[in-house]
Structure 1
């Protein structure tokens, strides 16, 4: 299930996979497509989380130059270009653990 950005959870870690994005980011569009496909194949819920909804602090500062940022269970696992093979491996490991 994909939650639209305007309905994104208010806190990090609300769904298993989250992608932090900013408006107009071409890498974000590409990353969202990868997450939608791979998470869908694994039956994993995911959501787009706008950077503007992330609380002020060092993570938000760092993520502002790393978008899109992939979080799995609230932990940063990838950024800039979401690698579908890496995401597949991470989701398989998550499901086994």
Structure 2
């Protein structure tokens, strides 16, 4: 799982809480990537952060649905 985020983003803080909780539940980890550290990622995601990907598939952006993340991790 990857959480694409940026500093100072309140939605990213909320998404991180969801991701941490669901990863703990699934006993797995995640990587967090700051989109502003990479011009290509910044161009790709722009204002759509936070973005959560599981196995390369976007599971959500802006407000992350815990049930969708859970399904992606266990499905």
Which bin holds the TM-score, normalised by the shorter protein?
Answer: 0.7 to 0.9
Partner of residue 5 from structure 2, selected from 5, 21, 36: 21
Question: Which contiguous aligned blocks of 4+ residues in structure 1 show a shift greater than 6 angstroms?
Answer: none
Matched residue count: 75
Distance in 1, matches of 2:50 and 2:39, equals 16
Q: Unaligned 5+ residue runs, structure 1?
A: 1-16
TM-score by length of 1: 0.69
Note the aligned Cα RMSD (angstroms). Answer: 1.5
Q: Comparing both structures, which one devotes a greater share of its residues to helix? A: 2
Q: Unaligned 5+ residue runs, structure 2?
A: none
Partner of residue 71 from structure 1, selected from 53, 64, 67: 53
